[in-house]
Amino acid sequence: MRIWESNIRKVVPYVPGEQPDKENMIKLNTNENPYPPAPGVRKIMDEFKEDTLRLYPDPCAGMLVKEIANYYKLKPEQVFVGVGSDDVLAMAFMTFFQSKKPILFPEITYSFYDVWAELFNIPYVRCSLADDFSFVIDDYKRENGGIIFPNPNAPTGLCERLETIEKIIKYNQDVIVIVDEAYIDFGGESALSLLDKYENLLVVQTFSKSRSMAGVRIGFAMGSPTLIKYLNDVKYSFNSYTLNRFSLEIGVEAIRDEVYFKSVNEKIISTRERVKNELLQLGFTFPDSKTNFVFATHEKYNAKDIFLALKENNIYVRYFDKPKIHNYLRITIGTDEEMDALLDFLKHYIGK
């Protein structure tokens, strides 16, 4: 090892879901939306004035903040915008989780939480889940320096009731509780309605899933003006996490078109329910997903073998080589045609 190497921070890199780019592949592995963004986005792209790219964008993302606030009936001071919800969440870890006490998150959850905790030297404890993957509320009553969980949880897809979420927030009013609602638009009950009651609550959402814009990178947080101010103070100190001019304009268009947004989500929900029924008939079981994916397991067939066999056939789903979930596959809900191809393959594989 060279001497200067001893001064370098070493991390084991986190490997996110595969992003292969193969012809005719069916990509059901990273929960992207199979439908295009709102039709108006095309027009904005065509009419975009490239000369404006000479100028820095508004660091406060004012036009998008205003639009999001308007949509969710909040004040602009209650909205924070970032480059994908991953960036918003990472920023929130840096801002709110500074206590020496461990933060809490579920034992099976979004893989980035422990990555960020380790990267930012934040101690953490994983809270257990019941056998059906539901939250064990008492585990959120231990001493802690903050709490974060997705609702619906990922990769289980299970959505906790608002009552449960409120109990956790209410018990933990001395710390910040972050509810990561990346998948909330597919049938879950949002914690936004609790914002008026709890100043320590931060709700984080994204344009990547329900608004078909994973490639643009827009995420946002909603909370009390006090929390949003703290987030902005940290963000401005970095001068990063700033949306570019192009993203700002198409983001505004995507949030304005509520009719399209709702129709795409309804379509995904109906495909999901059909896929659930068909998977059940093939002998799969899964938590009751309220997301754009299903987390499925089969008693007789090994998940990793199915994952590899699907991949051989150009169908990509997600497999996690982790304790307790190594026999599950996370399958994103794609178009009806994509799901038919997956189901046909599984029927053949299982011999039905």
Which residues would be at the binding site for ligand PMP (CB under 6 A)? 31, 84-86, 110, 150, 154, 180, 182, 206, 208, 214, 219
Closest distance of CB 318 from ligand PMP, Å: 10
Pick the closer one to ligand PMP by CB: 182 or 341.
182
Pick the closer one to ligand PMP by CB: 134 or 313.
134
Q: Compute, in degrees rounded to 10, the torsion defined by CA atoms 53, 57, 63, 65.
A: 140
Task: Give the integer Cα–Cα distance in Å for 203 and 183.
Answer: 12
What's the burial of 3, exposed, middle or buried (CB within 10 Å: 0-12/13-18/19+)? exposed
Closest distance of CB 213 from ligand PMP, Å: 9
Closest distance of CB 176 from ligand PMP, Å: 17
Pick the closer one to ligand PMP by CB: 30 or 164.
30
Question: How many whole angstroms from its chain centre is CA 238?
Answer: 23
The count of C-alpha atoms lying within 13 angstroms of the C-alpha of 124, restricted to the half-sphere facing its C-beta, is 23
Pick the closer one to ligand PMP by CB: 145 or 150.
150
* C-beta separation of 105 from 148 below 8 A: yes
Task: Give the integer Cα–Cα distance in Å for 10 and 19.
Answer: 25
Closest distance of CB 198 from ligand PMP, Å: 21
One-letter amino acid for residue 209 of the chain: K
128, two tokens: 């257990």
* C-beta separation of 328 from 297 below 8 A: yes
Pick the closer one to ligand PMP by CB: 232 or 291.
291
Closest distance of CB 67 from ligand PMP, Å: 17
In which residue are the tokens 């999901």 written? 272
- Across the strands, what pairs with 32? none
DSSP code string of 326-350: TTEEEEE---HHHHHHHHHHHHHHH
Pick the closer one to ligand PMP by CB: 82 or 145.
82
Closest distance of CB 51 from ligand PMP, Å: 29
**Nearest Cα to Cα of residue 154 among 280, 292, 19, 26:** 292
Pick the closer one to ligand PMP by CB: 255 or 346.
255
Task: Give the integer Cα–Cα distance in Å for 31 and 260.
Answer: 19
Pick the closer one to ligand PMP by CB: 146 or 346.
146
Closest distance of CB 16 from ligand PMP, Å: 8
In which residue are the tokens 């320590």 written? 200
Closest distance of CB 153 from ligand PMP, Å: 8
